[in-house]
Amino acid sequence: MTAHILLIEDDLELARLVEDFLRHEGFQVTQCGNALTAKKLLLAQAFDLMVCDVMLPGSNGFDLVRQIRQQFKGPILFMTAQTSVAAQLEGLQLGAQDYLLKPLDPRILLAKIRIFLSEQHSAASSGDMLQQGNLLIDQKAGSVSVAGEDINLTGAELQLLICLVSNYPVVVSRERLFREQLGREYDGADRTFDGRASRLRRKLQAVDPHWNIRNIWGKGYCISYHNNEAEPA
């Protein structure tokens, strides 16, 4: 699945240039120009990284990050013309991964994005917490939330979800699931995991319909997130 970036920038010309550049590099980009819209987008969609201006109409970028930092766990990069040391320190103290000064060569922004997405993927796949976009799994507590809303899963559904998120975006074979989660070999006809995947899909989509548990014919299952993704057959 392509990494999804939220770009919060009210300079429309700059926003268009950055968006076009990142899309050309293979990223999915959603752009908005103010903090209020950004908060609504963060509740409605899953993002892997956020690039945020500081000087925004209404609430500024610092205030936005203070309000959403508990909800959004992905990397945050400030990209701003606010060059004072005090502003840079404030941005970093809020938990941003970097504070980039305008004007900025887009190749530098691209390099930073790739570095922090790589680090985020490694961190999200270790320890007790697993995260992909707005999906958060606390393995120790056995709890799951999507966009901050708790989801009730059975133990079997939780086990399947952990496996799919841990291996994202790779397809996990039925053979592996039967061996690791049921302790027996797949006989080619047993549909146990079809049912589990279907129930898990319904529960995720009841909160955020963009999540999907895909049944890849002849291969296995994977978890994905896409605004325009069709339902599996």
Residue 200 forms part of a structural domain: yes
Final residue of a structural domain among 90, 107, 124: 124
Final residue of a structural domain among 84, 106, 124: 124
- ω into 169 cis (within 30 of 0): yes
Judge if 105 and 145 occupy the same domain: no
Domain count, the chain: 2
What is the pairing mode between strands 49-52 and 76-80? parallel
Residue 231 forms part of a structural domain: no
Residue 11 forms part of a structural domain: yes
| Residue among 133, 138, 26, 33 nearest 73 (CA) | 133
Residue 232 forms part of a structural domain: no
Q: How far apart are CA 3 and CA 8, in angstroms?
A: 16
Residue 230 forms part of a structural domain: no
Judge if 74 and 185 occupy the same domain: no
Final residue of a structural domain among 124, 139, 157: 124
Amino acid (one-letter) located at 40: K
Residue 166 forms part of a structural domain: yes
Judge if 33 and 119 occupy the same domain: yes
Judge if 117 and 147 occupy the same domain: no
Residue 233 forms part of a structural domain: no
Judge if 36 and 115 occupy the same domain: yes
| Residue 198 domain boundaries | 129-225
- pLDDT value of residue 121: 61
For CA atoms 93, 95, 101, 107, the dihedral sign is positive
Judge if 60 and 148 occupy the same domain: no
Judge if 119 and 8 occupy the same domain: yes
Task: Give every strand in the sheet of 135-138, ordered side by side.
Answer: 129-132, 135-138, 143-146, 149-151
Which CATH number do you get for residue 184?
Answer: 1.10.10.10
Residue 25 forms part of a structural domain: yes
Judge if 69 and 175 occupy the same domain: no
All residue ranges of the chain with pLDDT < 70 are 1, 119-127, 227-233
Judge if 117 and 157 occupy the same domain: no
Q: How far apart are CA 25 and CA 219, in angstroms?
A: 29
Structure-token pair, residue 217: 């014919």
Q: How far apart are CA 75 and CA 48, in angstroms?
A: 7
Task: Give every strand in the sheet of 49-52, ordered side by side.
Answer: 28-32, 4-8, 49-52, 76-80, 98-101
